[in-house]
Structures are given as C-alpha cells and as structure tokens.
Amino acid sequence: MIKAIQEAGKRKKEQEEEEQGSNSVKKDIIREIENLLKEKGIKVEELEPENRDYKAAVNGCGETMKEMVAVEERIKSDINIKHIRKNEHNKHKDQGREEE
C-alpha cells in the first residue's frame, strides 16, 4: 500500500513537471508571436479571426509539441501573409505616386 502511494506521488510530480515544461514552451511561443507582430508591423486586428486571440489559442492547444507547433505555425504564417500583402499594397501605392 505504501508503495502504491509512493508511485501515485511520483506520477503526480512527473505530471506537474511536464505541465510546467509545456507552459514554459507556450510562453516562449507567445513571446515569439508578439515579437513577430512588432517586427512585421502587423496589428492583431489584421489577423484572421481564429488567430486574433493568439494567447488563448496557444494556451488552449494540447500539451504535445506537435499541437503547440501546429498552432504556432498557423499564427506565424498568418502574420507573414499579412506582411507580404501589406508590402505589396504599399509598393503599388508608391508606384502610382512615381507615375504622377
């Protein structure tokens, strides 16, 4: 019986350590997304609706690296697409001014 209690305590401790690890990874992902938004000059409102609340999306994804990476890639891809479109739009505006 004592051994069973020790085993349960050990499993609980391992589970808590795993959760702390995934929370650390999620915080890093959120920080990277915020840096990318700032670097690319993209506002959260410009993102697709499912990516606007990126903190909730990251924190709400599963605990596996595969799930976390999938959410991270989806949001970063959205940011990069918006950045490219914004640059193309500005490029066309600038070309129009040069022709005048």
- Nearest-angstrom CA–CA distance, 88 and 95: 11
Rg (CA), the chain: 21
What residue segments make up the domains of the chain, in order of their start? 2-99
User: In 3D, which of 98, 21, 96 has the Cα closest to residue 13?
Assistant: 21
State the Cα–Cα distance between residues 87 and 90, nearest whole angstrom.
5
Residue 18 binned pLDDT confidence (cut-offs 50, 70, 90): low
Question: Is residue 100 pLDDT above 90, yes or no?
Answer: no
Q: pLDDT tens for residues 19-57?
A: 667 889 999 999 999 999 999 999 999 999 999 999 999
Helix residue ranges per DSSP H, 1-100: 2-40, 49-52, 54-60, 65-99
Q: What is the pLDDT of residue 42?
A: 96
Cα separation, 52 vs 41, in Å, equals 15
